[in-house]
């Protein structure tokens, strides 16, 4: 049995908790707390430590998903959560371009932790104001070969598609490493 650890990160309210909840076969271990102040306009709960979910791909492959807290004041958790990850997903809130800079910053930080494969998920594509994955790729100044995938976090199929793309990249990397030896 092979287990693969993936981290799901991205700005506050991008949809990380929803993303993990949609596909996890166990009840997501959430660590949400009520929040007050201006953030309340967006939502009134936030993830303070992490979300944890599991998805069985087949008899010999299980994915473990770790969702990060999105707010800077909890970012001391990020490096701890990234330990042992084989890949990561940066969720972008496609309807809030004012968060794109933060998404890019988070991407750079996770790249610095480990040189694993990653994908970008352009989330909330069901909403009319959503920026397209192509436009997000340009706005975030991503490299040409970076995968930017369309996603709706409450739609299990799109979440699975994102996870599979990352899994392919991870498997490709592993094969490349083997050939290089």
Please give the residue ranges that form the binding site for ligand GDP (CB under 6 A). Answer: 10, 12-18, 43, 46-47, 70, 123-124, 126-127, 152-154
The phi, psi pair for 15, rounded to 5°, reads 120, 20
Task: Pick between residue 2 and residue 101 the one whose CB is nearest to ligand GDP.
Answer: 101
The tokens describing 68, both together, are: 């990060």
Concatenating the DSSP letter of every residue in 73-86 gives GGTHHHHHHHTT-S
8 Å CB contact between 117 and 168: no
Q: How far is the CB of 39 from ligand GDP (least distance, A)?
A: 10
CB of 139 within 8 A of CB of 97? yes
By beta carbon distance, the residue nearest ligand GDP is 15
Return the number of the residue (116 or 125) whose C-beta is nearest ligand GDP.
125
Specify whether the CB–CB gap between 6 and 18 falls below 8 A.
Answer: no
Q: Taking CB under 5 A as the rule, does residue 47 contact Mg ion?
A: yes
Residues numbered 8 to 37 that lie near Mg ion (CB under 5 A) are 16-17
The nearest distance, CB 152 to ligand GDP, in angstroms, is 4
Q: Does 125 bind Mg ion (CB under 5 A)?
A: no
Radius of gyration of the chain (CA): 16
Binding region for Mg ion (CB under 5 A): 16-17, 47
């Amino acid at each position: 049995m092979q287990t693969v650890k993936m981290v799901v990160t991205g700005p506050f309210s991008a949809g990380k908790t929803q993303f993990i909840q949609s596909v996890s076969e166990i009840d997501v271990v959430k660590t949400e707390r009520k929040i007050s102040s201006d953030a309340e306009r967006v939502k009134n709960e936030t993830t303070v430590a992490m979300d944890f979910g599991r998805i069985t791909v087949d008899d010999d492959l299980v994915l473990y998903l770790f969702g990060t807290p999105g707010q800077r004041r909890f970012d001391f958790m990020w490096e701890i959560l990234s330990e042992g990850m084989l890949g990561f997903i940066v969720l972008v809130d496609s309807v809030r371009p004012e968060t794109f800079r933060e998404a890019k910053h988070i991407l750079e930080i996770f790249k610095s932790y480990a040189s694993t494969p990653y994908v970008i998920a352009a989330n909330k594509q069901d909403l009319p104001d959503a920026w397209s994955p192509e436009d997000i790729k340009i706005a975030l100044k991503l490299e040409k070969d970076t995968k930017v995938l369309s996603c709706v976090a409450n739609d299990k199929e799109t979440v699975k598609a994102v996870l599979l793309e990352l899994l392919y990249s991870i498997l490709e990397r592993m094969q490349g490493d083997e050939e290089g030896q």
